[in-house]
Amino acid sequence: MEMPPEVRLGLDIKRAEQSLMTAKSSAVRVADLTVAQYATLLALAQHPGISAAALARACLVTPQAMTAMLKTLQARGLIERSAHPWHQRVLETRLTEDGQRALTCADKEAVRIERRLADEFTAEEQDMLRALLARCVQAIERDH
């Protein structure tokens, strides 16, 4: 073995991500949402009218995955889609009132987790953690 498991960082990063996703999954379930649906509604709240392609980039998923997500959210009445006023082929996506209520409920729970996480670190440590994680991404993508 070229690199012993105890010095590999990937498992530690995965463990932290898995813990966060498990906690958030449980938290957003109160609004009958998945983490991916919550992330989509959150992005829509921040960018009303955003296109599906831009939304996919914002949520770090493929356009195909976002198309399926939007169909599900629309069928549940959480979003509405309409033609862009100038670009008729582009559909704008917005939260409905039910979508806003679901997001508000889920976000209240998700923020509790984010606060618990943030409270473990000083502001300086949070900045350092973000920088270190960005370096991880750069190192992984360098040879990709």
The predicted-structure confidence for 32-45, as pLDDT tens digits, reads as follows 999 999 999 999 99
Confidence of residue 77 (pLDDT cuts 50, 70, 90): very high
pLDDT digits (tens, 9 = 90+) for 14-62: 999 999 999 999 999 999 999 999 999 999 999 998 888 899 999 999 9
Q: Fill in the amino acid letter for 69.
A: M
| Contacts of residue 52, Cβ cutoff 8 Å, sequence gap at least 6 | 63, 66, 67, 70, 91, 93
Please give the mean pLDDT across all residues of the chain.
93
Closest CA to 99 of 70, 137, 126, 119: 70
- pLDDT (average), residues 6-18: 92
Q: What is the pLDDT of residue 4?
A: 87
Given this model, what pLDDT does residue 87 score?
66
pLDDT at 83 over 90: no
pTM: 0.88
- What percentage of the chain carries pLDDT values higher than 70? 95
Cα 93 to Cα 43: distance, rounded to the nearest angstrom: 11
pLDDT computed for residue 85 by the predictor: 66
DSSP character at residue 84: -
